[in-house]
Amino acid sequence: MPFSKLGLQAELLRAIVSQGYSSPTPIQTQAIPVVLAGRDVLAGAQTGTGKTAAFALPLLQLLSGKPRTGKAPRALVLTPTRELAAQVAESVQTYGAHLSLRSTVVFGGVSINPQKDAINRGVDVLVATPGRLLDHVGQRSVDLSRIEILVLDEADRMLDMGFINDIRKVLALLPKQRQNLLFSATYTDEIKRLADGLLRNPALIEVARRNTAAETVSQVVYRVQKEHKRDLLIHLVKDGQWQQVLVFTRTKHGANRLAEQLGRAGIESAAIHGNKSQGARTKALAGFKDGSVRVLVATDIAARGLDIDRLPHVVNYELPNVPEDYVHRIGRTGRAGEEGAALSLVEPEETKMLKDIQRVLKRDIPVAELPNFPLGARQPEDARPPQVRRHGPRHAGNAPAHADAHRKPRPRNPQRRAAGDAR
Ligand code: AMP
């Protein structure tokens, strides 16, 4: 079905054409007419399905039908992360380019005053993370009493991140009479409870089966020793000439360290995680999108909701502790019908995690042969935690013999060695 059959107005169709979308995705085909008809929606859809346009397009149309009176926002979109909030706000701007509606975004980690000014100028659509929205409520810089449409985007993530109380506080401030749209990748009991209390006779829309990896993503496991992971990754990136790779680590320190190591191997990399300032996160993401950063190393929380067009490669440098996070991670690739590849570097100690993931996926992930690459080309300055199995005393020239053949020793970095794993 073409976009023109969904009941969208000409100004929105023009914006869709400028985006180069030729036909609606399944979630858009199902959600747009229902939202336009004013119904509540409970949608099961992961990132990458086109869910943002599925709510943003009809929401803009409903608001453009009647002008705003006063300054208070009429639509509120809540998202779990700052990055997702920024991306949703950008989409709202893009799709609303030919309408005279105003939108703004508020999230933490940046100064609150410019946000207050923007709200005070009058907005139709407010995109927000729950915590910062409540800061505005506390400072009386936002009036939520005129909200006609509420969207909870990635509601399961918001619950995972402990936002339920904040969400309830926000809900208490909204008018009772309103339209509610709830988007969630998974349908847990907690989501069901939230939906039961929030939605009235909702249209149920499901486009991705629960806990199923996007079907356009090819998945592969490499069985590899922990100490060889970094070299394998470097080899894969260089040999495969990968230009845009999202790599997941379990810890913030691990993300920093890997990004530094890749950088030293000549691969432009950046780390993105919760300890980074908002400015640093935005810069890293912008670099990744414009191609100046080839590898973005991320933790699960930081990566939630990242919207990067046509991301071809996702690497699980370490498997996630929570099996469902695997599904979210690989959902970053193969977006909106594009092909994608997800690779997992699995060390022996991660075998149980792999089994848990396969149980959630209800299938085995094929194990690929290791490519022929120079093993163990580790540099002596990379301090490792003491529990890692070593092949001998650690100082320059005492790494495994097969590794030494390939490399020149580099000068030590005493500062980094002293910091060890505490980084
Ligand atoms: P989302 O699931 O909302 O994060 O969207 C994932 C990606 O799909 C975004 O980069 C959108 O720009 C893109 N997208 C959304 N709708 C369409 C469409 N109908 N055709 C092609 N791409 C789309």
Q: Which residues contact 202 (CB under 8 A, 6 or more apart)?
A: 39, 40, 41, 42, 180, 182, 195
The structural domains of the chain, with segments of one domain joined by +, span: 3-206, 217-406
Q: What is the per-residue pLDDT for 36?
A: 98
DSSP 353: H
Distances (CA, A) of 243 to 83, 252, 409: 22, 23, 28
- Taking only the tens of pLDDT, the chain with its 423 residues reads 899 999 999 999 999 999 998 899 999 999 999 999 999 999 988 777 899 999 999 999 999 999 999 999 999 999 999 989 999 999 999 999 999 999 999 999 999 999 999 999 999 999 999 999 999 999 999 999 999 999 999 999 899 888 999 999 999 999 999 999 999 988 788 899 999 999 999 999 987 543 445 456 789 999 999 999 999 999 999 998 998 999 999 999 999 999 999 999 999 999 988 788 888 888 888 899 889 999 999 998 777 656 566 678 899 999 998 887 888 788 777 655 556 789 999 999 999 999 999 888 878 899 998 877 766 444 333 333 333 232 333 333 333 323 322 333 333 333 333 333 222
Tell how far the Cα of 15 is from the centroid of ligand 1, in angstroms. 13
Q: Is 48 in the pocket of ligand 1 (CB under 6 A)?
A: yes
- Cα 340 from Cα 345, distance rounded (Å): 17
Question: CATH says 3-206 is which class?
Answer: alpha beta
Rounded to two decimals, the pTM is 0.61
Tell how far the Cα of 365 is from the centroid of ligand 1, in angstroms. 27
Q: Is 203 in the pocket of ligand 1 (CB under 6 A)?
A: no
Ligand 1 pocket test: pick from 18, 19, 154, 304 the residue with the most ligand atoms within 8 Å of its Cβ: 19
Q: Is 53 in the pocket of ligand 1 (CB under 6 A)?
A: yes
Q: Which tokens is 198 given?
A: 């929030």
Q: Is the Cα torsion angle 279, 282, 284, 290 positive or negative in sign?
A: negative
Q: Is 336 in the pocket of ligand 1 (CB under 6 A)?
A: yes
Q: What is the per-residue pLDDT for 144?
A: 98
Q: Is 309 in the pocket of ligand 1 (CB under 6 A)?
A: yes
Q: Which residues contact 72 (CB under 8 A, 6 or more apart)?
A: 142, 143, 144, 145, 146
Q: Which tokens is 162 given?
A: 């402990």
Q: Is 56 in the pocket of ligand 1 (CB under 6 A)?
A: no
| AA identity, residue 303 | A
Q: Is 25 in the pocket of ligand 1 (CB under 6 A)?
A: yes
Ligand 1 pocket test: pick from 5, 151, 304, 307 the residue with the most ligand atoms within 8 Å of its Cβ: 307
Please answer whether residues 63 and 103 qualify as being in contact, where contact means their C-beta atoms are separated by less than 8 angstroms.
no
Exposed e or buried b per residue across 282-294, where buried means at least 16 C-beta atoms within 10 angstroms of its C-beta: bebbebbbeeebb
Q: What is the per-residue pLDDT for 421?
A: 26
Is 217-406 in the same CATH topology as 3-206? yes
Please answer whether residues 88 and 162 qualify as being in contact, where contact means their C-beta atoms are separated by less than 8 angstroms.
no
Atom number, ligand 1, closest to the C-alpha of residue 310: 10
Q: Which tokens is 314 given?
A: 């996702």
Residues in the chain: 423
Q: What is the per-residue pLDDT for 35?
A: 98
Q: Which residues contact 227 (CB under 8 A, 6 or more apart)?
A: 376, 378, 384, 388, 389
Q: Is 360 in the pocket of ligand 1 (CB under 6 A)?
A: no
Tell how far the Cα of 166 is from the centroid of ligand 1, in angstroms. 29
Atom number, ligand 1, closest to the C-alpha of residue 308: 10
Residue closest via CA to ligand 1's atom 6 equals 48
Tell how far the Cα of 20 is from the centroid of ligand 1, in angstroms. 10
- Cα 88 from Cα 305, distance rounded (Å): 10
Q: Which residues contact 32 (CB under 8 A, 6 or more apart)?
A: 6, 7, 8, 24, 54, 57, 58
Q: What is the per-residue pLDDT for 274?
A: 78
Give the CATH fold of the 217-406 domain.
Rossmann fold (3.40.50)
